Amino acid sequence: MSQPNLANKDTAEQCKDIGKQALLRGDYPKAIKFFEKSMSLYPISGVPEMRDRAVRERAAAAQKARDKAASPGGNGTTGRAGGAAPPVSPGTSGRGHTPEQAAIVSKVLAVAKKGHYEVLGLEKGKASEDAVKKAYRKLALKLHPDKNAAPQADAAFKAVGLAYAVLSDPQKRSNYDQFGADDPTGEGGGGNPFAGMRRRRAGGHQHPGAVDPEDIFNMFFGGGMGGVQFHNMRRPQERRQQQQQQQ
């Protein structure tokens, strides 16, 4: 093995410094290029580690960009004039959310119009009562507005609540299985994921047959939620009022 040429040390130092500045700016390709050039000229302590760091951070930045592009509104626009940001749904204002939270909201809303089984990820005719409960529990905990601040999380939470309300009730499930979107009783929700949540009388009083996703959630978990606690179990309107008072 040939000995490193001491005459190249100064140039290697210069390459290291250029690579370091590029790394701090987030210019990872340039940083990697000059670190590798420095390593080829003369072995300088710390350069291989900085090169490895640049490689890792470049990969992390690329993954972050892919996640953002895959999430709803990931390009920062909604297709409206001026690239306006999408409206923030109740309970999400001022809080960040992860790509995974946005992804599950998008997934639920994408299948909401297909039917309740699709919302819960179940197969019609084969889903047992326990399977319905298990599917609801898993999704409700991930979509509750106090935990998920992604846009439209409330809508996805409502869709999951209605699906559970229908499929956990033997009579409603029977009607839904038989008539689907054409359920003459109107209790199955049909192809509209929020139909069962809109039957309200004048004055805002809820119809006896209407579904409130918060009530379903509270009744299902009984306040304990299997060790999971939310600090604010109020309805969306109450949460918004609380946020305004705190501002």
Sequence letter at residue 204: G
Query: What is the phi-psi region of residue 110: left when phi exceeds 0, alpha when psi lies from -120 to 50, beta otherwise?
Result: alpha
Q: DSSP characters for 13-25?
A: HHHHHHHHHHHHH
- Where is mean pLDDT largest: 30-34, 122-126, 232-236? 30-34
Of 157 and 184, more confident: 157
Instruction: Note whether 61 and 53 are within 8 A (CB).
Output: no
Q: What is the structure's pLDDT at 233?
A: 43
**What's the pTM?**
0.49
What is the C-alpha separation between 152 and 112, in angstroms, rounded?
13
Confidence band for 91, pLDDT divided at 50, 70 and 90: very low
Neighbours of 60 (CB within 10 A): 11
Please report, for residues 100, 161, 164, 224, 239, the alpha-carbon distance to residue 217 in angstroms, rounded to integers and kept in the order given. 22, 7, 10, 11, 16
